[in-house]
Amino acid sequence: MGQLDVTMDKKKAGGPAPADLPRAIAASAKAVDATLEAVLPRPHGPQGRVQEAMRYATFAGGKRLRPFLVLHSARLFGVDDSHALRAGAAIEVLHTYSLVHDDLPCMDDDDLRRGRPTTHIAFDEMTAVLAGDALLTIAFEILADEKTHPDPAVRIALVARLAEASGHDGMIGGQVIDMIATQQFGADDIVNLQRLKTGQLFEFSCEAGPILGKASAEDCARLRAYAREMGVVFQITDDLLDVTSTAEKTGKAVGKDAEMGKATLVTLLGVDGARAEAQRRAQAAIAALGPYAARSPELSGLPLFLLDRES
């Protein structure tokens, strides 16, 4: 299938300047949404309610940042967009499951997400637990399908990496630590927590490209290092928004960190200190890309773009 309509920007402008990132992100999100539409089940039969909830949670107007990373890390290695978009859909449904379960009353107990009732509010708690379970399961089903890549060795490498990134020593481990996090946490504790809770899925997203492209271990390491630094930028800006933004702009409750007595790099370094740290990390992310920085304005532009985000 080659490269889809998300490449149109590139053809016109010879690679978007950083200013084109909103457009590149929107184009990628549109293509990912079409893939999600195709891979998620249409509600049918008596189990339709959980399938409806899977779709409700997934189609909530997100920026699809993780699939964007998959798509552009994949293009660096000549991967067909149709393959990258399926890997992107897998990471997006896995990310969605984590939000559905995080929002449950026994976890963060959130009623609002992206300006809409959370899944257990719109449906019920039981359906939210099962829809989350089903989204986690279908992530692996998407990766295992030969439409994601003709080579079974590539598909199983994606499965292994995603399971590791999202498991007990990855995202779930980070979630556990987050639940016991206190204001006594120092900068290293916080960076470790966030590297697990949100960073691991970013790392998978950026490594999916070189895995799909059968790139060298060195290139995998480059993209992983980029993701690691970029993940810190993302998290700091998320924490900054929690302090400086309004619920109207972010579509979710703000000021929750302070309310829950949670330490973040922002509470620890202050707004200016945290912003400076994010700036350093953004430069480190671009540097980590090495020769690929120039070849992907989307990846090299993203960290600075995140620094300026308002939602």
Q: Closer to its own copies at the Cβ: 136 or 258? A: 136
217 sits near its own copies (criterion: CB under 8 A)? no
Q: Closer to its own copies at the Cβ: 60 or 177? A: 177
140 sits near its own copies (criterion: CB under 8 A)? yes
Which one of the spans 74-82, 135-143, 203-211, 222-230 is the region binding its own copies (CB under 8 A)? 135-143
Q: Give the span between the Cα atoms of 238 and 274, in whole angstroms.
A: 11
CA distances from 274 to 43, 234, 281, 288 (A): 45, 12, 10, 21
Q: Which amino acid is at 138?
A: I
Which one of the spans 71-79, 80-88, 121-129, 288-296 is the region binding its own copies (CB under 8 A)? 121-129
Q: Give the nearest distance from C-beta 12 to its own copies in angstroms.
A: 39
Q: Closer to its own copies at the Cβ: 117 or 251? A: 117
Which one of the spans 96-104, 223-231, 274-282, 301-309 is the region binding its own copies (CB under 8 A)? 96-104
Return residues touching its own copies (CB under 8 A): 41, 45-47, 49-51, 54, 97, 101, 104, 106-107, 124-127, 129-130, 132-134, 136-138, 140-141, 143-145, 152-153, 155-156, 159-160, 163-164, 166-169, 172-177, 179-180, 196
